């Protein structure tokens, strides 16, 4: 398996990052590597092996053993925290944009669409209104953090969305 640097150079030169063959760049591998990878995956599934690395532990309904499923869950949590922290750093930190609010608790913070067009925006980028979380964060990063959202605590964001403004927006601390 090539190193991350080699894969990045191949991708930059329009080559398959795995094998170095010419490829259209629309997927993460060339057709040859995708077919090969799919065959290995299907073989693991056929033999009841964990698809993460083919370990001999029994795979469950999602085709992974318990240990690898837990590893993946923790990896995804770290990845989500990293992109979330990066997004909030770009938009002023974990501090509610409502002038009357002093909330700085990360667990209570949400990104509010400044022009109250969040539903429209989610439909545009995801095809439905049910998109959220990481997909919004990655979209914002890909588009160089446009100033269309602001950090707000859940209470202020709810009030802004349902009542047009937060009740304590005029309170100054």
For 109-118, write each residue's pLDDT tens digit: 999 999 988 8
Q: 149 pLDDT band (50/70/90 cuts)?
A: very high
Question: CA distances (Å), 57 to each of 45, 48, 71, 83, 130, in order?
Answer: 12, 9, 14, 32, 36
Percentage of residues of the chain with pLDDT beyond 90 = 34
Q: 129 pLDDT band (50/70/90 cuts)?
A: low
Q: What is the pLDDT of residue 31?
A: 86
More confident residue, 56 or 93: 93
pLDDT higher than threshold 90 for residue 14:
no
More confident residue, 159 or 126: 159
Digit-coded pLDDT (tens) for 36-46: 988 988 888 78
Q: Hey, what's the torsion of the CAs at 150, 155, 160, 162, to 10 degrees?
A: 140
pLDDT higher than threshold 60 for residue 173:
no
More confident residue, 96 or 118: 96
Least confident of 83-87, 125-129, 148-152: 125-129
- For helices 134-142 and 118-126, give the axis angle rounded to 10 degrees: 80
Q: 34 pLDDT band (50/70/90 cuts)?
A: confident
Q: What is the pLDDT of residue 111?
A: 93
- The pair of structure tokens assigned to 87 is 């997004």
Nearest residue to 126 via CA among 117, 135, 134, 118: 135
């Amino acid at each position: 398996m090539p190193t991350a640097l080699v894969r990045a150079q191949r991708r930059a030169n329009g080559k398959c990052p795995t094998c170095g063959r010419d490829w259209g760049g629309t997927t993460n591998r060339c057709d040859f590597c995708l077919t090969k990878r799919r065959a290995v995956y299907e073989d693991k599934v056929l033999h009841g092996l964990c698809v993460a690395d083919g370990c001999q532990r029994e795979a469950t309904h999602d085709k992974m053993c318990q240990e690898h499923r837990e590893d993946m869950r923790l990896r995804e949590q770290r990845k989500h925290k990293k992109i979330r922290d990066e997004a909030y750093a770009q938009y002023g930190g974990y501090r509610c944009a409502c002038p009357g609010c002093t909330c700085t608790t990360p667990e209570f913070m949400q990104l509010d669409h400044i022009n109250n067009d969040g539903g429209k925006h989610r439909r545009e980028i995801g095809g439905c209104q049910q998109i959220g979380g990481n997909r919004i964060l990655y979209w914002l990063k890909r588009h160089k953090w446009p100033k269309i959202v602001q950090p707000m605590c859940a209470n202020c964001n709810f009030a802004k969305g349902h009542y047009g403004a937060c009740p304590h927006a005029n309170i100054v601390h």
